[in-house]
């Protein structure tokens, strides 16, 4: 479900930004009649897109394990862009309309940057004397806990419940290294590190 809503959110965000770019272009170009026509034609589609934008955004925020300052800043920028757009198009103020579009574009960029931040996490310092289980726990706490939770059952960002996983060891290796669904692949991890994470996550399994 999370993956489907994520794709829906991405689509409606792009449609929302595209619509505002078109309307802003018409406003800046002084094509008032065309802007009025587009506004009338897109009145209900725009409302539907806006509703989906808001609804899917709230769902993703509540169910995401990767909430950072960039996500919060993105939300603030989106909220700031709304009154700018309303006033800009209503009062025919090109500067405000352009500002609204720029804020939306920056917020989209922040969302994309936030996705990449997950892969840039620094590996924890692990003592050479640490057991495989201890190594797995340390790595899990950095790369996995934000979505899977302390006991593997948090289910944030579409994460599967590790306590009831039926995947084989090789399948788990593939998912961790290459990703699946909304989960990114952690190619920077060595096979030994991946195996350590799997061994630790296996301790969550319901006996």
Backbone angles phi, psi at 97, to 5 degrees: -65, -45
Say whether pLDDT at 161 is over 90: yes
What's 65-131 look like in SS3?
Answer: CCCCHHHHHHHHHHHHHHHHHHHHHHCCCHHHHHHHHHHHHHHHHHHHHHHHHHHHCCCCCCCCCCC
Instruction: Give the residue extent of every domain in the chain.
Output: 2-119, 121-204
Under the banding of pLDDT at 50, 70 and 90, the label for residue 207 is low
CATH superfamily of 121-204: Cytochrome c-like domain (1.10.760.10)
Q: What is the mean pLDDT of the chain?
A: 92
Asked if residue 74 lies in contact with residue 111, where contact means CB atoms within 8 angstroms, the answer is yes
Say whether pLDDT at 66 is over 90: no
pLDDT at 3: 87
Higher pLDDT: 112 or 9? It is 9
Give the pTM: 0.83
Say whether pLDDT at 65 is over 90: no
pLDDT at 197: 96
Which has the closest alpha carbon to 93: 47, 46, 145, 28?
28
Q: Alpha carbon 106 to chain centroid distance?
A: 14
N-to-C CA span, the chain = 27
Read off the pLDDT of residues 35-55 as tens digits, 9 standing for 90 and up. Answer: 999 999 999 999 999 999 999
Asked if residue 122 lies in contact with residue 132, where contact means CB atoms within 8 angstroms, the answer is no
Read off the pLDDT of residues 102-145 as tens digits, 9 standing for 90 and up. Answer: 999 999 999 888 877 777 788 888 888 899 999 999 999 999 99
pLDDT at 145: 93
Tokens representing residue 19 in the block? 């619509």
Cα 145 from Cα 201, distance rounded (Å): 10
């Amino acid at each position: 479900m999370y993956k489907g809503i994520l794709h829906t959110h991405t689509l409606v965000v792009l449609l929302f930004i595209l619509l505002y770019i078109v309307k802003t272009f018409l406003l800046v170009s002084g094509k008032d009649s065309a802007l009025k026509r587009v506004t009338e034609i897109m009145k209900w589609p725009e409302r539907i897109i806006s509703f989906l934008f808001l609804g899917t955004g709230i769902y993703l925020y509540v169910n995401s394990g990767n909430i950072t300052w960039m996500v919060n800043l993105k939300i603030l920028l989106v909220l700031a862009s709304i009154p700018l757009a309303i006033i800009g198009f209503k009062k025919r103020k090109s500067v405000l309309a352009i500002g609204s579009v720029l804020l939306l574009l920056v917020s989209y960029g922040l969302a994309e940057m936030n996705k990449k931040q997950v892969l840039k996490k620094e590996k924890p310092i692990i003592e050479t004397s640490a057991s495989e289980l201890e190594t797995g726990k340390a790595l899990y706490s950095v790369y996995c806990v934000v979505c899977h939770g302390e006991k593997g059952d948090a289910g944030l960002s579409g994460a599967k419940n590790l306590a009831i996983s039926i995947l084989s060891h090789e399948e788990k290796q593939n998912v961790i290294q290459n990703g699946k669904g909304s989960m990114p692949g952690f190619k920077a991890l060595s096979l030994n590190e991946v195996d350590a994470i799997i061994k630790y996550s296996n301790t969550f399994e319901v006996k």
